[in-house]
Amino acid sequence: MATYASRVSAINKDPLIGYLDLQQNPSLRDQFFAPLIHVLENYSRQKIDCREISDADFLRLGCWRILSLAQSGRDFIQQQQEVFDSELKRSSFFATLHSGRRRNLLIECSWQLYLQGSRELCRQSDDLLATFTELKGRPVWAVDGHQIAHACHAVKDRKGKHVAPNSLYLLCLHTGLLQNLSPVQGNGIYRHEMPVFRQHLPHWLQKQPQRRKDQPPILVLDPAFVDKQFWTRMKMLHSAGAVMITRTTGNMKPEVYSRFRWDLEKPINLGIQGDFRVGFDGAVAMRWIKYVDPETAEAYEFLTTEMHLPPGLIAWLYLLRWRIEKVFDTGKNKLLETKAWATGEVAQAIQAHFLAVTHNLLVLFRHYLQSEYGIEERKLIQKREHSMNQRECRAGEEGRQIHPLHREMPSVVQLSVQFIRTLRNQISQNNSLAASITRLTAMLHAYL
């Protein structure tokens, strides 16, 4: 187990070191928020002194609102006053939700937290895609939109109907860290996800750390994001290009040019039935991959502009896209983050970025507990093992088998509700980290 001293000695190599000195007996609250405050103090250019609500308090309050289960803004403010003895004023708090500077500050800190957190988690032992050596150092993101209910006083469209806010997110499949890309619709305006995605993706790609030109980022998307001409342009760009993986739809009529060969002996290619080079009018040649799940016998077809990875890896990456759905499920059912906080695009962006930041703080803090104390989500590991054994038995009885990669992939990617509850309760009681360790260990090791 790494000591605090050893982590401090590596501070120049590991910029994420924002966790406090354990000898100072920090509160769980301060330790949880330490990485976010660290990037605010060391990487932010937007920070200024504010008398009513400091930038540090703005960041903590936004994340705490995600964690607090408050049903409204007034509920949250009352909780701050009665539970934390805070002098938070309603007008001041709601004003921050409409501040363009605060939004820009949050975007800046969210990006730096994601960037520094990725460097921490992408070490070989913590990389969720470490099984696939072909993907080492190559960005892989799942992309999807997430919709919540409108605020009470939201603007209506021309027909007098409310428009549900929807925002685009990217989930790094290496680390499990989340980033908000852009609002899509809301405030009385309908938009499709693909035009917004086309508009914002190039800037997102340009701000990424330098990478090898022969390893463009991989974006795993549902079929709603298929735009053959756009992905042709993305593939042909060298400095800020990307490739995509998606599923085919019934109206796609590709013209088959040739067949690819694949190694039947590699376990990764189990289930592959066909790998074709295909074309569409006005688009670059793509791959059309046919796959049958060896466990369920369900057939899938995938379309990709990635021409070199094994076909089984293409199929597997798309099947890993469910992870972003699990993150949205955590936000909806475990954090109860189902409704807009306020009206306006600035408020929508602020809420979306706070959801991503809070998710990332939870992932990083769970990693911190494992690396410093050896605490892990043992109950989820045991549950998954039990489920895997049952699936193997069912598949064997039907003359099939589960894919061997199910055993090789990391076992825990989802945050458990007990872990989130314990953090919430211990922070509310203002307990120290040392006093909370026993409770955290119990909630990570076994179900109530």
Q: What is the pLDDT of residues 103-120, one digit of tens each?
A: 999 999 999 999 999 988
Q: Is the pLDDT of residue 6 over 50?
A: no
Task: Say which DSSP state 339 is in.
Answer: B
Global pTM reads 0.92
Chain-wide mean pLDDT for the chain? 89
Instruction: Name the residue among 411, 370, 412 with its Cα closest to residue 1.
Output: 370
Q: What percent of the chain has pLDDT over 90?
A: 62
Q: What pLDDT is attached to residue 261? A: 93
Q: Of 2-11, 46-55, 57-66, where does the model show the most confidence?
A: 57-66
Flag the least confident range among 69-73, 209-213, 312-316, 380-384.
209-213
Task: Say which DSSP state 20 is in.
Answer: P
Domain assignment present for residue 31? The answer is no
Domain assignment present for residue 372? The answer is no
As a whole number of angstroms, the distance between CA 67 and CA 32 comes to 12
Domain assignment present for residue 408? The answer is no
Q: What pLDDT is attached to residue 227? A: 86
- Residue 340 contacts residue 165 (beta carbons within 8 Å): yes
Task: Return the exposure string of 201-210: e unless at least 16 CB atoms fall within 10 Å of the residue's CB, then b.
Answer: beebbeeeee
Q: Is the pLDDT of residue 49 over 90?
A: no
Residue written as token pair 């002098």: 87
Domain assignment present for residue 34? The answer is no
Domain assignment present for residue 297? The answer is yes
Confidence of residue 121 (pLDDT cuts 50, 70, 90): confident
List all residues 6 or more positions away from 387 whose beta carbon is below 8 Å from its beta carbon.
none
Confidence of residue 155 (pLDDT cuts 50, 70, 90): confident
SS3 track for 308-331:
CCCHHHHHHHHHCCHHHHHHHHHH
State the residue range of the domain holding 227.
Answer: 127-325
Mean pLDDT (whole number) for 266-283:
90
pLDDT tens across 392-424, in order?
Answer: 999 999 999 999 988 888 766 788 999 999 999
More confident residue, 29 or 159: 29
Q: What pLDDT is attached to residue 334? A: 95
Q: Where are the alpha helices (DSSP H) in 298-447?
A: 311-319, 322-329, 345-373, 378-397, 405-408, 417-428, 433-445
Q: What percent of the chain has pLDDT over 70?
A: 94
Q: Is the pLDDT of residue 239 over 70?
A: no
Structural domains of the chain, count: 1
Domain assignment present for residue 207? The answer is yes
Q: Is the pLDDT of residue 290 over 90?
A: yes
As a whole number of angstroms, the distance between CA 53 and CA 50 comes to 6
- Residue 135 contacts residue 320 (beta carbons within 8 Å): no
Q: What pLDDT is attached to residue 319? A: 93
Give the dihedral sign, CA 234/236/241/247.
positive
As a whole number of angstroms, the distance between CA 210 and CA 218 comes to 15
Q: What pLDDT is attached to residue 172? A: 95
Rounded to 5 degrees, φ, ψ at 88 are: -60, 125
Confidence of residue 13 (pLDDT cuts 50, 70, 90): very low
Q: What pLDDT is attached to residue 17? A: 56
Q: What pLDDT is attached to residue 255? A: 87
Confidence of residue 308 (pLDDT cuts 50, 70, 90): very high
pLDDT tens across 60-80, in order?
Answer: 999 999 999 999 999 999 999
Q: What pLDDT is attached to residue 5? A: 33
β-strands 166-172, 140-147 pairing: antiparallel
Q: Is the pLDDT of residue 236 over 80?
A: no
Q: Is the pLDDT of residue 178 over 90?
A: yes
List all residues 6 or more positions away from 3 whose beta carbon is below 8 Å from its beta carbon.
none
Q: What pLDDT is attached to residue 9? A: 34
Helix, coil or strand: residue 337: coil
- Residue 93 contacts residue 354 (beta carbons within 8 Å): no
SS3 track for 141-190:
EEEEEEECECCCCCCECCCCCECCCEEEEEEECCCCCEEEEEEEEECCEC
Q: What pLDDT is attached to residue 238? A: 63
As a whole number of angstroms, the distance between CA 374 and CA 2 comes to 10
Helix, coil or strand: residue 279: strand
The gap between the terminal CA atoms of the chain, to the nearest Å, is: 28
- Residue 403 contacts residue 294 (beta carbons within 8 Å): yes
- Residue 373 contacts residue 127 (beta carbons within 8 Å): no
Give residue 101's identity as a one-letter amino acid code: R
Bridge partner residues of 171 (DSSP): 142, 178
Q: What pLDDT is attached to residue 8? A: 31
Domain assignment present for residue 354? The answer is no
Domain assignment present for residue 163? The answer is yes
Flag the least confident range among 38-52, 298-312, 338-352, 406-420.
406-420
Farthest CA pair distance, the chain: 69
Rounded to 5 degrees, φ, ψ at 252 are: -80, 130
As a whole number of angstroms, the distance between CA 31 and CA 33 comes to 6
As a whole number of angstroms, the distance between CA 186 and CA 149 comes to 10
Instruction: Name the residue among 39, 1, 45, 49 with its Cα closest to residue 19.
Output: 39
Q: For the chain, give the number of residues.
A: 448
Mean pLDDT (whole number) for 372-395:
91
